[in-house]
Structure 1
């Protein structure tokens, strides 16, 4: 019997590792979308990396550097959102990992709109950046959620 307990613990640990891998991959995809958006000149004022960098500098005294913003972006996407996704997975609406990822991405977007956006000076839902800011951010978060759910679903199904 101890073997099955260890196996369950192993599966549980793999679930968390899988969720961090999925969070990282989804954050890479989101980052590429953000870079493409910037390169095309679409809404340059909507720059979450700059916002994170500025907030880290103003609130925590960290160097005002895009490296700090990128590190925060990847830590949030990989650890905070990745792990939270696995913890909420069973209660999220949806019948498959992808639909659960999409539902989770709406939650992540909403929290971004009411917490860091106002803290960065962009206003609630980023309205100081224009009405397209929350729409564009939602679109990018939905892609992030699809990738998050897809990767997590694939990794967890391989564990079973």
Structure 2
């Protein structure tokens, strides 16, 4: 299977869009005071600081958050879309994001010292992060579909040549 530059770029744009939506939800969660111990940006910042052996500010956590969402998962959407189950791109995005959630729960949460499924934070951690990932995935898949549909306003024409 060959992926075009257009599809990959659309994956990155869809990933960025989904990351912006997720970020807004994370900010609202924090402002309302729901699960304050669940702070992925702080976790990413602390993990990077620990690995590099220097104190880093939250900017590195935000940078990592946007790179992971836009490049890693947006790119994965473009690359794996044809292999994911379902005819619906939105559902394909959710499936991909649930895979990302599972990876976060069994690899990143323990690496961050929060235990398997983040249960050291509390039982709300796996539930909230699952919901957030499902929303991220739905936005990712829907945006990717819109960008690749030649009959929508949002599609980008690939330059001839």
TM-score (norm 2): 0.89
Q: Distance in 2 between matches of 1:142 and 1:122?
A: 21
**Are the aligned partners of 1:94 and 1:103 in contact in 2 as well (CA < 8 Å)?**
no
Q: How many residues align?
A: 151
Match of 1:83 in 2: 75
Whether 1:124 aligns to 2:116 is yes
Q: CA deviation at 1:88?
A: 0.9
Counterparts of residues 17-32 of structure 1 (less than 5 Å): 17-32=9-24
Which runs of no fewer than 5 residues in structure 2 stay unpaired? none
Matching residue of 2:133: 141
Q: 1:114·1:124 contact (CA, 8 Å) conserved in 2?
A: yes
Q: Which has the higher helix share?
A: 1
Measured after TM superposition, the shift of residue 28 of structure 1 is 0.5
Could you tell me which runs of 5 or more consecutive residues in structure 1 were left unpaired when the two chains were aligned: 1-8
Q: Which residue of 2 aligns with 1:6?
A: none
- 1:130, CA displacement in angstroms? 0.7
Q: 1:84: Cα distance to partner?
A: 1.1
For residues 89-129 of structure 1, give each alpha carbon's deviation from its aligned partner in whole angstroms, at most 9, with x where no partner exists. 11111111101011111101101111111111111100101
| Equivalent position of 2:56 in the other structure | 64
1:4 corresponds in structure 2 to none
Q: Any runs of at least 4 consecutive aligned residues in structure 1 with deviations exceeding 4 A, and if so which?
A: none
Measure how far apart 1:62 and its partner are: 5.0
Where does residue 30 of structure 2 map in the other structure?
A: 38
| Cα RMSD (Å) | 1.5
> 1-side partners of 2:127 and 2:136: how far apart?
14
Please tell me whether residue 74 in structure 1 is matched to residue 66 in structure 2: yes
